[in-house]
Amino acid sequence: MSEGRKRRPRDPKATREAILEAARTRLAIDGPEGLSLSEVAHLAGVNRGTAYQHFETREKLIKATAEWVSDKLFRAVFGDPETIGERRVEQVDIPEMTDRLANFAMDNPELCRVWLLQVLSSPDPWSDPFWKEYEGSQRRFAQTGLSQENIDVEALSVIMLAGAFLWPVWGRSHATDEKDRRQLAHRFAQECLRISMHGSLRADRFPEIAERLKAPVPATKTKKRAEGG
């Protein structure tokens, strides 16, 4: 019996998780139009009837998968959703949050791309918890004295997330080991901070970021090749 067909113990929560994991994998390969509940069930190691018990239609499965990915993104970047309301935008550690996003994207490239495509094509992206907090925090930040004037928050949010979730395509293709992937994630985070310092942030209010950006860029294998080293 193949790995995907091994029967799982009767645990509804674990079964649902397995189905969502399988759906995420298939969505990354086939996209929403090519998603098949039968194929998802096979990959999850459950029968089709069980999959339909959890998700009555393909559309409900796609929606649930996007929500599941959004929750993982939220927790990785912002922390526990239950305590997020206690955070003031002025107190956010911008470099740390940028690092967390870059590292999560590098570790979960398919997960992030599935989420991004679903949210960008949604008629109501603000119903997604991660997008609502990410774009919302950018909007709240733009209303403080720490921000440049007249920022297009929506456009900025798409630019930053699209870059964060596409950079791992490069990283996964060119990095040879885990250390290289971590350095590539750091390189991306550095450039996001540099763009922000010369675009959305008032640079004079963030001396600690200016100091961080003085550090040399990690000499990854891809960078050495590009520079002819």
Higher pLDDT, residue 83 or 104: 104
Segment 17-22 shows an average pLDDT of 90
Residue 113 binned pLDDT confidence (cut-offs 50, 70, 90): confident
Q: Note the CATH architecture for domain 1-56.
A: Orthogonal Bundle (1.10)
111 confidence band (pLDDT: 50, 70, 90): confident
pLDDT of residue 224: 58
Q: Is the pLDDT of residue 4 over 50?
A: no
Query: So what's the pLDDT on residue 36?
Result: 85
Say how far apart CA 49 and CA 33 lie, in whole Å: 21
Fold of domain 62-226: Tetracycline Repressor; domain 2 (1.10.357)
The label of the residue with tokens 């397995």 reads 18
Helix-helix angle 12-30:109-120, to 10 degrees: 80
For residue 108, give the nearest of 116, 119, 120, 118 by alpha carbon.
Answer: 116
Q: Where are the domains of the chain?
A: 1-56, 62-226
Residue 28: closest CA among 57, 59, 69, 60: 69
pTM of the complete model: 0.78
Q: Which of 113, 229, 112, 103 is nearest to 178 (CA)?
A: 103
Q: What integer pLDDT is reported at residue 223 of this predicted model? A: 55
Task: Give the pLDDT band of residue 5 (cuts 50, 70, 90).
Answer: very low
Q: Rounded to whole angstroms, how far apart are CA atoms 108 and 77?
A: 13
Q: pLDDT per residue over 27-66, tens digit each?
A: 877 777 778 888 999 999 998 898 989 998 888 888 888 8
Work out the mean pLDDT of the chain and round it to a whole number. Answer: 85
Which pLDDT value is given to residue 2?
A: 45
pLDDT digits (tens, 9 = 90+) for 134-180: 999 999 999 998 999 889 999 999 999 999 999 998 888 888 888 88
Residue 80 pLDDT > 60, yes or no? yes
